[in-house]
Amino acid sequence: MEKLEAELASLRTRAAALNSRHSAAEAAHDDAKAKLQRHHLDADLDADDKARAKLETAVAACAVTRDGYANALVEVQAKITDAEQKLAAERATVERKAVSEKLASDLDAVERALPDYLAAGKRFADALEKLHFHHESGAMVRFICNTATQVEVAAGFALVELRGMVVAIHDGVAPIPAPKPVSASLPVPEPSPPTQTVFMMKSAKYHDHDGRSRFAGQWEDATMPVATAQRALRLGVAVPVTDPRRAQLRGSRGGDFNPRAPDVVDLDAVEEPKGVPHANPVLSGANFTPLPTAAPRTILIDVPLS
């Protein structure tokens, strides 16, 4: 293979040089032909025979040089094709030899492991046989014995067939087995960050989970990060979507918004009042009435005496 690779590299270098010289000879031939044509068109045809003969000689010489390089280039390209085919065949021979040797080694390992597997199965079945009074143990004994018999028979046929494949692969009669497919694990998508939808009582701006600036128009629904939505609810900038005002006001602005208006609330920058407990808007809207706790209450419980 090293000899073929060196020969192929040399041929390719020679082909590149011949191609360059052929291009130069082609250009020289075109130039000489153009000069001869100009002579035919402009010179005195009766008085300039020597000049014409000289130009014709130049054209003929350039044509010989060009054709010589072209013929040599064709032969070199044929040699390159032949060398590439020989190199490919040699590489295939090396690959078939390596694959056949590996298959033979794998079969040797199988033949060494098979008696150990059968012997281990027999020892395990003999141990379970002592528990013949137990139904599951008896079922395992029958399964192990049946499996061992089937594996032994199948291995006998398979090993003979595979041994034949070793020779067939080495000689190029059988194709090289395809490599074992590798199972590609699918990427698990990351869960989307939690969001909450609220009804905006005022126009506001905020940043989403990705840091992008968002705008929520007055009297429209807005989906935003949960922490931002809770801040808007506490500040009264928004109300839950269950608020009855949503049914009356939703969309009444008609999309007439100016995100730069001075009354747009910046939910990321606004400061909440300190010392004021955060009210849960859901509980606030439930209208719970606290029970009176001024007077003590007594409950009597009957307890049976034993």
**Residue 81 included in any domain:** yes
**Residue 122 included in any domain:** yes
Q: How far is CA 74 from CA 19, 22, 68, 77, 229, in A?
A: 10, 11, 10, 5, 78
> Is the same domain home to 113 and 89?
no
Alpha helix ranges (H) inside the chain:
2-42, 49-129, 135-171, 226-235, 245-249, 281-284
**Residue 262 included in any domain:** yes
The last residue of a domain, from among 96, 125, 154: 96
> Is the same domain home to 6 and 92?
yes
> Is the same domain home to 209 and 258?
yes
Q: Max CA-CA distance within the chain? A: 155
Q: How far apart are CA 194 and CA 167, in angstroms?
A: 63
> Is the same domain home to 87 and 113?
no
Q: How far apart are CA 190 and CA 246, in angstroms?
A: 33
Q: Is the Cα dihedral 253, 258, 259, 261 positive or negative?
A: negative
**Residue 190 included in any domain:** no
Q: Are 201 and 222 in contact (CB under 8 A)?
A: no
The last residue of a domain, from among 156, 171, 186: 171
Closest Cα to residue 225, out of 239, 214, 237? 214
Pairing outcome for strands 195-200 and 204-207: unpaired
Helix (H, G, I), strand (E, B) or coil at 304: coil
State the pLDDT at residue 172. Answer: 86
Report how far Cα 130 is from the mean position of its chain's Cα atoms.
55
Q: How far apart are CA 100 and CA 162, in angstroms?
A: 10
| CA angle centred on 228, ends 197 and 284, rounded to 5° | 70
> Is the same domain home to 80 and 137?
no
Q: How far apart are CA 214 and CA 223, in angstroms?
A: 10
**Residue 236 included in any domain:** yes
pLDDT tens per residue, the chain (306 residues)?
A: 788 889 989 999 999 999 999 999 999 999 999 998 988 888 777 767 788 888 889 999 999 999 999 999 999 999 999 999 999 999 988 999 999 999 999 999 999 999 999 999 999 999 988 888 888 888 999 999 999 999 999 998 999 999 999 999 998 888 888 888 877 767 777 788 899 999 999 999 999 988 899 999 999 999 999 999 999 999 999 999 999 999 999 888 887 888 888 899 999 988 776 655 555 554 444 444 455 555 555 555 555 554
State the pLDDT at residue 287. Answer: 47
**Residue 246 included in any domain:** yes
The last residue of a domain, from among 171, 187, 212: 171
Helix (H, G, I), strand (E, B) or coil at 36: helix
Q: Which residues pair with 267 in a beta bridge?
A: none
State the pLDDT at residue 215. Answer: 93
> Is the same domain home to 77 and 125?
no
How many domains does the chain fold into? Answer: 3
Note if the pTM is more than 0.75.
Answer: no
Closest Cα to residue 270, out of 226, 221, 246, 236? 236
> Is the same domain home to 128 and 153?
yes
Q: Going by C-beta distance under 8 Å and a sequence separation of 6 or more, which residues neighbour residue 281?
A: 233, 234, 239, 240
Domain extent at residue 145 = 106-171
State the pLDDT at residue 285. Answer: 47
Q: Going by C-beta distance under 8 Å and a sequence separation of 6 or more, which residues neighbour residue 43?
A: 51, 52
> Is the same domain home to 202 and 155?
no
State the pLDDT at residue 133. Answer: 85
**Residue 160 included in any domain:** yes
**Residue 112 included in any domain:** yes
Q: How far is CA 40 from CA 31, 45, 271, in A?
A: 14, 7, 97
> Is the same domain home to 37 and 69?
yes
> Is the same domain home to 133 and 212?
no
Q: Are 63 and 29 in contact (CB under 8 A)?
A: yes
